[in-house]
Amino acid sequence: MTIKSLLPLIAATFICGGSVLVEARQPKPPTAVVKPTVSQPAQPKWKLFTAPDGRFSILMPGNPNRNTQYQKTYMGKITLKIFVAQPPKQQVAYLVAYNDFPYSYGEMADPQAVLNNARDMALKTTKSHLISQGNIRSSNNHPGKEIEYINSGGKITRSRMYVAEGRLYQVMAITTKKQQKTLAKTITGYLNSFHVVLKK
């Protein structure tokens, strides 16, 4: 699963090309006895990633690829920042994206309405079926929503969205049904590691 093949699964605005550079684990020294085993994907090195503006932190499997997109909306021009990491030899991609709202909209908008709109847009643009959803809170009590959905190609996305201080964050893991079972704990740990840093 390449980054390009993931694009339709993310959202219409999540456009990010090129390869993702991640750190590969050092190969293990050969053992004396070779036993037939099920091939296991190489485990990436996870490390804490802090956004360039310092407004969020999260554990990522290596250094994420960074992209910026500009979108014209009814609110005005929106800047979308995207961070993507894809471990080698795994059918999964980890993403964080955010956009700031114009001040007037951010002050007036109902957070639940923003989250519902983001959910609907994700399902529509990826032509996906909603598996589950629930209201959540960030580690410092910002309103959020967790959703899980599957597209016609069988790709599963777990996404947590938060509205915090005039900004919408989207934290996602996109994978196949097979890898989703294998990586369930890893994906949950990844989502749990996301932390919004309050403005000073």
CA atoms within 13 A on the CB side of 85: 22
Predicted confidence (pLDDT) per residue in 60-90, tens digit: 999 999 999 987 776 677 889 999 999 988 8
Mention every residue, 6+ apart, whose C-beta is less than 8 A from residue 196. 55, 56, 138, 139, 140, 142, 162, 164, 169
pTM of the complete model: 0.78
Task: Give the distance between the most distant pair of CA atoms in the chain.
Answer: 67
Give backbone dihedrals phi and psi of 168, rounded to 5 degrees, phi first.
-105, 120
| DSSP code of residue 193 | T
CA dist., res. 83 & res. 10, Å (int) = 12
Asked if pLDDT for residue 105 goes beyond 70, the answer is: no
Judged by DSSP in three states, 128 sits in: strand
Going by C-alpha positions, the residue among 159, 180, 186 that lies closest to residue 170 is 159
Predicted confidence (pLDDT) per residue in 114-157, tens digit: 999 999 989 998 999 999 999 999 999 999 999 999 998 999 99
Predicted confidence (pLDDT) per residue in 38-56, tens digit: 445 556 789 999 999 999 9
Judged by DSSP in three states, 184 sits in: helix
CA 148 to chain centroid: 12
